[in-house]
Amino acid sequence: MEKFINALKLQNINSLLPIQELSYRSILANKNIIIQSPTGSGKTLAYLLPIFKKTDTSSKQVQTLILAPTHELAVQIIDQIRLLNKNSDNNLNCTTLIGGVNINKQIETLKKNKPHIVVATTGRALELILKKKLSAHTIKTLIIDEADTLLTKNQREDILKIKQSLQRDVQIVCCSATIGSQLKDDIKLILTEPVFISTEETVNKNIEHKFILTEQRKKFDELRAFLNKEVPKKSLIFINNNHEVETIVSKLQHHNFKAIGLTSAQDKQKRSNAMMQFRSGKSNILVSSDISARGLDVPDISHIFNLDLPKNSNDYIHRAGRTARGINSGVSIGIVTQGEEKLLKEYEKNLKIIFSQIC
């Protein structure tokens, strides 16, 4: 463990966060785990640290499969694995398997690199397992990141098929910021006698929740005025409609803001380029659909804006959770009409948070 602590110090992480300490021994003991902890609380490292510890690097077999709901989160996880691998001087191989990328090249990578850890989107993982190109029988641990997304109706069947292809004694770890009654029922389909690990809080206490009350036609003007006045370091702006993302980006660029867009309708390369520009600071405003709400970890996002409010409290907390990562603080701002205020009341009731108005 000591070499991993030293590796984390090279990433300016000087101590383990509560969820990381709580998860470590249970995952090492090969128990089925449900990890619930607020966004930004360190869930990725909570499972990666024990996985690194128990991976047999002398073997040339896939031992851990990590499933992620989006290309962006899969890339983010693999980047964290590679950084931890490098800083700990570990001899561990890993690769990503995502849709929209040439599958033959991925098959060749599996043959050539013989990864110990595979990070994949669900559809591509299942496809390669069915083609017998990804060896399911060697996998000892299955990680389901953002379980509340992956176990929805759209992907639940694929998850079950993947689980059925694995050994009966495979360890399964489910991670989520929020776990409602429906998700608990879904988890029962794949997990037996899980250990539930939680930090009690489900909402990151380092996030301030605020709102600006305006008319629909004045929403962009209010956003622009705030950006000019406060000059946030990095901002993430959420819009419900993919088609509106480029419109808002164009308007922001017209007013000399360094903005870029990210939507599920874009191809993988364009999405990768957008994230690269945002992470590097070349663009300090990212306008996005909900594709960015799940697991995205850009440490210096100071402000979240909702030009459109999400439909439920769970989606709101995932959006807001893109700020205040780790020990940082942040602000989540809804730019709302009078008719949308009822949604804020719903968030307050369900999440036990308070919105303050910006006048």
> What is the spatial distance between Cα 156 and Cα 173, in angstroms, rounded to a whole number?
15
Encoding tokens for residue 23?
């998860």
Rounded to the nearest integer, the mean pLDDT of the chain is 92
Question: Cα angle at 153 between 334 and 30, to 5 degrees?
Answer: 95
Torsion angle, alpha carbons of 144, 145, 150, 155, to 10: -50
Backbone angles phi and psi of 202, in degrees to 5: -110, -10
pTM (2 d.p.): 0.81
Instruction: Please give the C-alpha separations between residue 103 and each of 69, 96, 107, 230, in angstroms, as whole numbers.
Output: 18, 11, 6, 46
User: Widest CA span of the chain, in angstroms?
Assistant: 62
Each residue of 215-242: pLDDT tens digit? 999 999 999 999 999 999 999 999 999 9
Structure tokens at 238: 């959420």
Distance CA 321, CA 355 (A): 15
Of all residues in the chain, what percent carry a pLDDT higher than 90? 74
Region label for 132, one of left (φ > 0), alpha (ψ between -120 and 50) or beta (otherwise): left
| pLDDT one-digit tens code per residue, 141-151 | 999 999 999 99
Q: Picking from 29-33, 56-60, 66-70, 192-196, which range would have the lowest pLDDT averaged per residue?
A: 192-196
Give the tokens for residue 50: 């024990």
- Calculate mean pLDDT across residues 9-33: 87
State the pLDDT confidence band at 103, using cuts at 50, 70 and 90.
very high
Domains, the chain, in order of start with CATH, read 1-201 (3.40.50.300), 205-355 (3.40.50.300)
The tally of CA atoms less than 13 A away on the side-chain side of residue 236 is 31
Distances (CA, A) of 8 to 3, 20, 83, 87, 145: 9, 12, 9, 8, 21
What is the rounded CA–CA span in Å between residue 46 and residue 5? 13
Residue 323 in this model has a pLDDT that exceeds 70: yes
Place of tokens 């669900």: 122
The whole-angstrom separation of Cα 290 and Cα 264 is 8
Q: What span, in angstroms and rounded, lies between the C-alpha atoms of 312 and 149?
A: 14
Average pLDDT on 309-323 reads 92
